[in-house]
Structure 1
Amino acid sequence: MSEQNTHGDLSTLPWPDGWRWTPRRDRDYQAKAATGVRTVEVEFEGAREPALLLPMRSVPRWQGIVFTVAGVGLLATAVLIGVVSVATQTWTGIVGVLVIGGAGTVFGLGGLAGLRSRKEAVAGLLLSPSRLIFDGSVDRLAMSWNDVAGFRLYMIRYGFRVLFPMPWHNWLSIDARDPHAVLASAGHEAAARLARRLKGKSVVAVADNRMIMSPLVAYHTLRYYLENPADRRELAGAEAVNRVHKGLLL
């Protein structure tokens, strides 16, 4: 089957509410199409099962190194400011210590997390007949299809407009019926407590630039198998891969 026939129907998938559409973003999504979509074996609770992979980019090690170095640098700066503030009794410097120290901690922990990427990780959203798994290469979160409440789509802008338009990304969040239970069962106790306090439903959020394939195709694939439980048996083999490549997701 030719590449054109394989991906031909993907261009007809409707753009969902919540995401920002631009001609350039649309072309980017169409160019990615169903790149990298395939069946893989995943291990869960000691057993292996086939699953459909909607691939994402892994966290690169160089990024982890850069963030770690930046974190150490910021923490060292905070310590230096603290020492100078104490020596000169300039207590206003303590504010700088707290701000810079906090930023250094965030950068450092983020960098270390990137360096801890699991060797067996297959970064992406993995859809098996029984569950939906998010593998971010650092850690993994699994939930049964019955636990999935739905998906939320939204756009986030970053930074401040000065000379150029602010960068932005379309995001996809996976909502759980009981996010506290899903996060706690995966060992994310702190996130589970935060979810309970904020009364939020989202347990996973993915930006469009993280996806190797078209985020639009990924969304419609997730939506299709959530709404059509009888077809989830396809996720164990080539039927699901063919469905995605042909765009039979409506």
Structure 2
Amino acid sequence: MTTLPWPPDWRRPPLGGWLGVVVFGAVAAFLVLAAAIAATGRQWVAVAVIGGVLLVLAPIAAASRPRRPAFATEVSLDLDGRRQTGVRFPVLPTSPLVSLALAVLGLAILGLGVAALVIAVADGDWSAVVGFVVLLLVGSVLALGGIVGLIASRRRLGLDLTPSHLVVGLGGDPVELTWEQVDRIGTTSIRYGFGLAPVQNWLTVVTREPVHVATGPPGRRAGSAGRRVGPSGRRAAALGRLTATAPANTAAAIPAQRLGADPVLVYHALRYYLEHADARPELGTGAALRRLAAGELVR
């Protein structure tokens, strides 16, 4: 992780980000003990269910651990009718490990449903058919959700900095802003309930005045015929959970946990190139990547 100053208004994760792993580890230990007790009583269905839950917990725990940050890469975009080279900070979709876990759990539940049907047919106890139907429905929903998540995780997302533009791609239409439109890079943290990660840190891109932000497919400027962000689904895609509370001149909001690079580094990089117009041309060269690698973002 970088030694750059911690952004204002952000909260540090408990246990350095390892809280999820600790909790899942404790739950897994309890489940292993429960499986051992069930095995001594020859309750094999319970053992199978616990085994399926453990298969799900393993990738979820792996996904909840602090990630080794990726780094910025070079990217090429079509902006304002010309090709520009810039720097991309990766933005992560929902963890593919979590999606894989859902798919595995769904298939495991489907397997239990089939087993329940076989047992019902063999014993002539048709009351188990209801359980088969329930397991079939639950397993199908989980498996389908996991497969959809795996497909979505292959999408290329990113936060792109070029000499002339800042482009935010979070999965919907990318938001394209010129540096002159941007007033500041804000930070905030919001509490959501009492989960393992109840507080989320956010980066916000605030413009000088409320603007109609041009949007379009990745790598292409929307132009005069492009769609516009307003109080609509596109604004919701750009602001996420901050849609209802963000001021009108907030063009985009990025959850820090979705940044593939070190969020602190991304924050300081955005501020540096916003405040130092003379340094922006290096975003089109390898000089920007060297600066980011050295962490030379505070003057």
Q: Same fold (TM over 0.5)?
A: yes
Q: Counterpart of 1:187?
A: 228
* Bigger Rg over Cα: 2
2:183 counterpart of 1:135: no
Question: 1:48-104: CA deviations, max 9, x gaps?
Answer: 2111111111357996xx9xxxxxxxxxxxxxxxxxxxxxxxxxxxxxxxxxxxxxx
Q: CA deviation at 1:148?
A: 0.3
Distance 1:138 1:198 in 2: 18
Other-structure match for 1:85: none
Residues 210-229 of structure 1: pairs in structure 2 closer than 5 A: 210-229=258-277
> d(CA) in 2 for partners of 1:227 and 1:174?
13
Verify the 8 A CA contact 1:183 1:203 in the aligned structure 2. Answer: no
Asked if 2 retains the 8 angstrom alpha-carbon contact of 1:180 and 1:193, the reply is no
Is there any run of 5+ residues in structure 1 with no aligned partner, and where? 1-6, 67-113
> Identity percentage over the alignment?
29
Q: What do residues 169-195 of structure 1 show as CA deviations (whole Å, max 9, x unaligned)?
A: 111111011233326875223349999
Of the candidates 153, 170, 183, which is equivalent to residue 187 of structure 2?
153
Which amino acid letter does the alignment assign opposite residue 231 of structure 1? A
**For residues 203 and 225 of structure 1, do their structure 2 counterparts lie closer, same or farther at Cα, with a shift above 3 Å needed?**
same
Do the aligned residues in 2 keep the contact of 1:142 with 1:186 (CA within 8 Å)?
no
Shift of 1:200: 2.7
Unaligned stretches of 5+ residues in structure 2? 19-63, 103-148, 216-225, 237-242
Q: State the partner residue of 1:207.
A: 255
Amino acid at match of 2:261: M
1:118-167: per-residue Cα shift (whole Å, max 9, x none)?
x9x64111000001000123311100000001011111111247xxx662
The letter of the residue matching 2:231 is A
Higher RCO (C-alpha under 8 Å, 6+ residues apart)? 1
Q: What CA RMSD, in Å, does the superposition of the two structures yield over aligned residues?
A: 3.8
Seen in structure 2, the aligned counterparts of structure 1 residues 223 and 171 have a Cα distance that, compared at 3 Å, is: same
Q: Distance in 1 between matches of 2:260 and 2:235?
A: 32
| Residue in structure 1 matching 2:199, options 168, 172, 176 | 168
Q: Does 19-28 or 206-215 show the bigger shift?
A: 19-28
Question: Does the CA-based 8 Å contact 2:212-2:228 persist in structure 1?
Answer: no
Residue 115 of structure 2: aligned partner:
none
Going from structure 1 to structure 2, the CA distance change for 1:158 and 1:146 (only over 3 Å counts) comes to: same
Rounded to whole Å, the distance in 2 between the matches of 1:157 and 1:52 is 31
Q: TM-score, normalised by structure 2?
A: 0.53
